[in-house]
């Protein structure tokens, strides 16, 4: 696991996506711009999980995300997943 915010906080979204793809890692983010890169700009993504859990503590967010990853691990690669307080949407992407 890598934490870009700790390694290179000013790294452009395209570079972050490229790093995740090169390493075959699913990208966990709270930044909706990655959805634009994938759906509007048709950029390849190994997998993206968009975390939309406003109003929760960091610990509560971590628990929700860990639970989703555990339950849906086999579905996260090659998919765009959005986690909100109401649901989990997994949209497979075949590129």
Burial group, residue 47, by CB count within 10 angstroms (0-12, 13-18, 19+): buried
Instruction: Output the pLDDT for position 95.
Output: 58
CB under 8 Å, gap of 24 or more: what pairs does 39-45 form?
39/80, 43/14, 43/17, 44/95, 45/17, 45/20, 45/21, 45/80, 45/93
The tokens describing 23, both together, are 């390493």
Instruction: Output the pLDDT for position 10.
Output: 81
CA 20 to CA 78: how far, in whole Å? Answer: 12
Nearest to 90 by CA among 41, 78, 1: 78
Burial group, residue 17, by CB count within 10 angstroms (0-12, 13-18, 19+): buried
Instruction: Output the pLDDT for position 12.
Output: 93
pLDDT in tens, the chain (95 residues): 667 767 777 889 999 999 999 999 999 999 999 999 999 999 999 999 999 999 999 999 999 999 999 999 999 999 999 999 999 999 997 55
Instruction: Output the pLDDT for position 53.
Output: 96
Instruction: Output the pLDDT for position 3.
Output: 77
Instruction: Output the pLDDT for position 36.
Output: 93
């Amino acid at each position: 696991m890598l934490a870009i915010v700790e390694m290179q906080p000013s790294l452009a979204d395209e570079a972050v996506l490229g790093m995740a793809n090169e390493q075959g890692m699913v990208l966990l983010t709270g930044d909706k711009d990655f959805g634009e890169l994938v759906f509007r700009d048709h950029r390849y993504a190994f997998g993206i999980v968009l975390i939309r859990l406003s109003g929760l503590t960091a610990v509560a967010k971590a628990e929700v995300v860990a639970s989703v990853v555990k339950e849906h691990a086999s579905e996260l690669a090659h998919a765009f997943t959005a986690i909100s307080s109401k649901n989990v949407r997994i949209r497979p992407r075949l590129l």
